[in-house]
Chains A and B, each alone.
Chain A
Amino acid sequence: QSVLTQPPSASGTPGQRVTISCSGSSSNIASNYVHWYQQLPGTAPRLLIYRNNQRPLGVPDRFSGSKSGTSASLAISGLRSEDEAHYYCAAWDDSLSGRVVFGGGTKLTVL
């Protein structure tokens, strides 16, 4: 049971816009930054969005992030076949003695 809640799957056709949600609580998303990681099949995760809505160098502007209260979202516009991957949200959690919490991951399928 992940501390952050994501839908297990999402899908879209090429060119479409899809969003993936991430729900948390006052001790994580509401009070800390949210980050998103992309994991292509058989590879290590890579940073996709950091600090809610910032893109690292090399990440296309088709990817965007947002946060409101205890929830965050990742949006992918102009969907491409190479976007088919698992997406994970993550945040620092202030409860206990501090920890990193991940969402359970969302498998994005490009139809």
Chain B
Amino acid sequence: EVQLLESGGGLVQPGGSLRLSCAASGFSFSNHAMSWVRQAPGKGLEWVATISGRGDRTYYADSVKGRLTISRDASKNMLYLQINSLRAEDTAVYFCAKDAYGSGIDYLDDWGQGTLVTVSS
């Protein structure tokens, strides 16, 4: 059974930094691209970033490019999202999601339960 467990969310001041983690299990981690998708309170889904299965390609939404870094550690089956210069508009639930294939341009077939990031002073 695929399991994706996010952690690292919390209350952060504007301008601060945060690293979100996603522990993956139940599948061959390196064979699948992984993504982060966020959802602001009461709003729709917003794709944030994707990393290929081998970690050699990354894709970012324009709205976060330069402030966010997606990475993965195959030895630990872990996915990460480093968020810098946090703004109020980054307040959202951040979901970790598994891509069906390794390239990162296909569908997201498993999702974690999300971790809430609140940016406020």
| A interface residues, Cβ below 8 angstroms from B | 2, 32-33, 35, 37, 39, 43-47, 50-51, 56, 86, 88, 90, 92, 96-105
**Contact flag A33-B107 (CB < 8 Å), given A88-B44, A100-B50, A102-B47:** yes
| B interface residues, Cβ below 8 angstroms from A | 35, 37, 44-47, 50, 59-62, 95, 100, 105-114
Interface contact B45-A45, CB-CB below 8 Å: yes
Interface contact A99-B59, CB-CB below 8 Å: yes
* 24 CB < 8 A contacts A-B: A2-B44, A33-B106, A37-B45, A37-B108, A44-B95, A44-B111, A45-B45, A47-B107, A47-B109, A50-B109, A51-B106, A88-B44, A90-B108, A92-B106, A96-B62, A97-B59, A99-B60, A99-B61, A100-B59, A100-B105, A101-B47, A102-B37, A102-B44, A102-B46
**Contact flag A88-B108 (CB < 8 Å), given A96-B62, A100-B35:** no
Interface contact B114-A44, CB-CB below 8 Å: yes
Highest count of chain B CB atoms <10 Å: which of A32, A39, A44, A98: A44
Highest count of chain B CB atoms <10 Å: which of A39, A100, A104: A100
Q: Chain B: interface secondary structure?
A: strand
**Contact flag A51-B59 (CB < 8 Å), given A44-B113, A45-B95, A105-B45:** no
Interface contact B44-A105, CB-CB below 8 Å: yes
Give A2 to B114 CA distance when docked, in angstroms. 22
- B74 to chain A: closest CB distance in Å? 22
Give A104 to B107 CA distance when docked, in angstroms. 17
Query: Which residue of B has the minimal Cβ distance to A32?
Result: B105
Give A43 to B108 CA distance when docked, in angstroms. 16
Give A63 to B112 CA distance when docked, in angstroms. 23
Give A88 to B95 CA distance when docked, in angstroms. 15
Highest count of chain A CB atoms <10 Å: which of B45, B50, B107, B108: B107
Interface contact A50-B107, CB-CB below 8 Å: yes
Give A43 to B50 CA distance when docked, in angstroms. 22
Give A50 to B107 CA distance when docked, in angstroms. 6
Give A98 to B33 CA distance when docked, in angstroms. 14
Interface contact B112-A44, CB-CB below 8 Å: yes
